[in-house]
């Protein structure tokens, strides 16, 4: 069973500086953290077979080459 973080929100928005975080407030940082953890959990629970790295890279290279051909 996954542990779900308990987020407490305060009516005051705590400002963060760019040195501390890429988010404007601690609430935004907490919301992103919760979203990211949920995405990781969903990925780990996914039963579909993985795609080999070389296959993914070949498919992406074909997409990039096709776009370059259309531009050039």
From the list 30, 36, 35, the residue with the least C-alpha distance to 13 is: 30
> What are the distances in angstroms from CA 8 to CA 11, 31, 34, 41, 66?
10, 11, 12, 22, 49
From the list 24, 33, 28, the residue with the least C-alpha distance to 5 is: 33
Q: How far apart, in whole angstroms, are the C-alpha atoms of residue 28 and residue 24?
A: 7
Pairwise pLDDT comparison (15 vs 1), residue with the higher score: 15
**Is the model's pTM score more than 0.75?**
no
pLDDT, tens digit, for every residue of 32-60? 999 999 999 999 999 999 999 999 999 99
Q: How far apart, in whole angstroms, are the C-alpha atoms of residue 70 and residue 67?
A: 5
């Amino acid at each position: 069973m996954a542990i779900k973080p308990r987020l407490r929100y305060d009516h005051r928005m705590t400002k963060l500086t760019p040195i501390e975080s890429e988010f404007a407030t601690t609430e935004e940082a907490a919301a992103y953290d919760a979203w990211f953890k949920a995405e990781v959990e969903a990925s780990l629970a996914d039963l579909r077979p993985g795609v080999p790295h070389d296959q993914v890279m070949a498919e992406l290279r074909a997409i990039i080459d096709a776009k370059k051909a259309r531009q050039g």
